[in-house]
Homo-oligomer: A and B are copies of this chain.
Amino acid sequence: MDRLIEAIEEAQNPSVVGLDPTPALVPPQVVDSFTDEVRESIEDESELPAARLAVAYFEFNRAIIDAVADIVPAVKPQIAMYEAIGPAGVDTYTMTCEYAQQQGLYVLGDIKRGDIGSTAAAYAGHLSGVTDGDGLYDPWHEDAVTVNPYLGTDGITPFVEAATAHDKDIFVLVRTSNPSSSELQELELAGGEKLYERTADLVEGWGADTIGRHGYSHVGAVVGATHPQEGKALRDRMPHTFFLVPGYGAQGGKAGDVAGMFDADGSGAIVNSSRGIIGAWRKSEEYREDMSADDALDLVARCARKAAQDMRDDLRVNVYR
């Protein structure tokens, strides 16, 4: 986790921008502008919507990355949004990750993978790349990935090994930000503790042998901003586990809600906002349906930059130091 912590220090900003494009979050003229170019490369007209979005998502992401790269330490592309448009979207996901890394950003791939031993080892290829003797090919360009704990230790170990070997990190789901997360995660166990607390203890243990120079291991935890009290208790319970905190902004979390997830030094957590930043242009009075695609992307970028600055300042004042 050292690389992420140092990137946060340098930016003086514990926030990460979620790159989660949807058809509604990309200005329609941007999508339309690729129609002719894309039509030449598809086999069937039915592929046009997905193919246009795949190109538009990358240009949208690039505009945002360029606008925030000097403000935030990290981005978090959510692979579901890209899988929604098929393999062409997956290509856009990897291109986005690669571009973000080239701009010096730490790339947290929100992939929430999880499976049993040999299959988890295959998923760990997201971090370890493809090797063949001397060469190493890294097709995914991720610095960290999110992982689901439901299958237990043998589904996690391959990720921990890959992360440690390549100085990357994983973030395991502990307490997610959605309303029905309580159905399983809050179940009370026979010993009196909650399921997510047991998960938390497992996560702290999975990272125990990988603690870096800033006191945090290669194994982080996902703890939603919508659970401020539980988050504060988890901060004490998991002293070597760095938190990824989703749910700020559009999902309702505020700086006060995440304050307890930071440690006494103002470290220990990074807060994500997605729609609040990449969709900030939709609240702008400057937007007009008859704008050019270039002007719309410029507006997207300016609004994202402003929203990222506001979030940074909110966290600096209320949480960080």
Interface, chain A (partner B; CB < 8 A): 20, 22, 44-50, 53, 78, 80-81, 83-88, 90-91, 93-94, 112-120, 122-123, 125-126, 130-132, 135-137, 139-140, 148-155, 173, 176-185, 187-190, 192, 195, 198-199, 202
Contacts and interface: CB of A to CB of B under 8 A. Distances in A.
A188 B116 CA distance: 22
Contacts of A53: 130
A18 to B, nearest CB: 10
9 contacts: A48-B132, A50-B139, A80-B123, A117-B178, A149-B184, A154-B178, A154-B179, A184-B202, A187-B198
Contacts of A187: 189-190, 195, 198
Q: 5 closest Cβ contacts across the A-B interface?
A: A86-B139, A152-B180, A49-B132, A84-B125, A116-B178
Contacts of A116: 176-178, 181
A294 B120 CA distance: 31
Given A50-B130, A189-B189, A180 B155 contact: yes
Nearest to A82: B122
A178 B151 contact: yes
Contacts of A47: 137, 139
Given A154-B180, A178-B152, A179-B154, A84 B188 contact: no
Contacts of A183: 152-153, 202
Contact of A94 (B48, B87, B153, B179): B87
A150 B148 contact: yes
A120 B83 CA distance: 11
A150 B153 contact: no
A86 B130 contact: yes
Contacts of A87: 87, 90-91, 93-94, 139
Given A114-B112, A130-B85, A149 B151 contact: no
Given A86-B94, A189-B189, A152 B78 contact: no
A85 B125 contact: yes
